[in-house]
Amino acid sequence: MDLQIPVVDLNDLRSVNDERRQRAGEALRVAFSQYGLAYIQNHGVSREDVLALYEQFMDVLRRPQAEKATWGGPDIWYQRGWTPPNTEQAVVAGGQPDFKECYFAAPVPLDKRCRSYWPQIYNDNVWPDSADSYRDAYLGLGRTVHGVGMDLLRGCALALGMRVDTLTSRCEGGAHVTRLLRYLALSEGQLNTGVLWGEEHTDFNLLTLLPGGVFYKHGEQTGDRPADFSGLKLRTRPTPEHPDGQLVSGVPPKGCMVAQVGQQLEVLSGGRFLATPHGIHAPGELGWERTSFAHFVHLNGMQTVAPLGPFRDADSIYAPPVLAGTYAMKTLVDIGLAPPSTMDQFGYRQYDRLAQIREDD
């Protein structure tokens, strides 16, 4: 492969030295416009802390199913607490759910006004009983990774030739969420049948940060990985030579984390940056599981998802603005976390009402 995905040094981005900041901004511009992803070094997130959190996560998941079902649930569209296996599906998956269970928590304070419109998306966190150290480690890492995301968004603004706070100011109070994911061990009958841990998709938020997953073998955390083509795969931007893009392993250079572009950033940049398709391939061997950590940076729900001023071309394919919270609602319906009746809140139920009246006549 001829891929040269840039490594962005966060110390450069945070520097008071203009030249260093410009250098990092240029690396981000190339990364997000040509590839849709960047490798981030000097991010300040301890690998040991991430691995320790995965162990606490796996411990919590060993609790009884009935207890786990009380952590969040369908009433809040699984936006906090536990998402059971066979719940979420990618839009292109044709009804085939991802083979995973997850946990969602919001590590930074949320906008109260947004909560009145999107109570599920702006819900309080929920935690298992007697799991204070899990909660504290989760929120602590979530906040650190969120800080990395804010620095990267300042870099993105620089890379797009805009005021440094153009993107971060639109994110204040947004429903930023940290998600822990466990991809489940396949049964013998599922091996090599095309079952995916996670179907390919693009994220609907602004920016996703991935400090790095780890494989488990027969329940034990291991630095090892299955021999075959499994784990996170990211697809780069299509080019004339590679019209379908190129698949890149989600394993970054040592010590780096992966940052990838979500749909909201693609729209805001008028397509200068492109949302990164990614999927999780399951291994062809028994006994393997995988945990990962993803932090999703979102626009504040009241912000519009529409190209920013300089990118508002007359022929833009991203023309109609939509509120970010509403954009999220629709996506959560599309991926099976919110019920289809959610869309009735837009007033379309009038059609059903009229049909019912005419039937009754």
State the nearest-atom distance from the C-beta of 235 to Fe ion, in Å.
12
The interface region with Fe ion, picked from 58-66, 195-203, 315-323, 326-334 by CB under 5 A, is 195-203
Task: Identify whether the C-beta of residue 268 lies closer than 8 Å to the C-beta of residue 322.
Answer: no
CA distance 261 to 236: 11
> Binding of Fe ion at residue 200 (CB under 5 A)?
no
- In order of 34, 181, 227, 232, the CA distances from 196 in angstroms are 27, 14, 16, 11
Least Cβ distance, residue 232 to Fe ion (angstroms):
9
Q: Please report, as a single letter, which amino acid is at residue 236.
A: T
Least separation, in Å, of the C-beta of 106 and Fe ion?
A: 17
By beta-carbon proximity to Fe ion, the closer residue of 125 and 292 is 292
- Residue 249 C-beta: closest distance to Fe ion, Å: 16
Give residue 26's identity as a one-letter amino acid code. Answer: E
Q: Which is nearer to Fe ion, 270 or 279 (CB)?
A: 279
Residue 201 C-beta: closest distance to Fe ion, Å: 6
Choice between 128 and 279, CB closer to Fe ion = 279
Query: Applying CB under 5 A, which part among 98-106, 109-117, 203-211, 245-253 lies near Fe ion?
Result: 203-211
Q: Check binding of 266 to Fe ion (CB under 5 A).
A: no
Q: 207-210 and 220-222 as β-strands: parallel, antiparallel, unpaired?
A: unpaired
Name the phi and psi angles at 305, rounded to 5: -90, 100
Closest residue to Fe ion in the complex (CB):
203
Least distance between Fe ion and beta carbon 142 (Å) = 16
Q: Locate tokens 């391939």: which residue?
A: 281
- The residue range among 28-36, 93-101, 202-210, 253-261 that interacts with Fe ion, by the rule CB under 5 A, is 202-210
Give the nearer residue to Fe ion in terms of CB position, either 233 or 242. 233
Our finding on whether 203 is near Fe ion (CB under 5 A) is yes
Nearer to Fe ion, 111 or 203 (CB): 203
**Residue 249: strand pairing partners:** 233
Q: Which residues contact 250 (CB under 8 A, 6 or more apart)?
A: 210, 213, 231, 232, 233, 234, 258, 278
Residue 215 C-beta-side C-alpha neighbours within 13 Å: 23
Query: Between residues 203 and 266, which has the closer beta carbon with respect to Fe ion?
Result: 203
**CA angle in degrees (0–180, nearest 5) for 64-60-72:** 75
Residues of this chain that bind Fe ion (CB under 5 A): 203
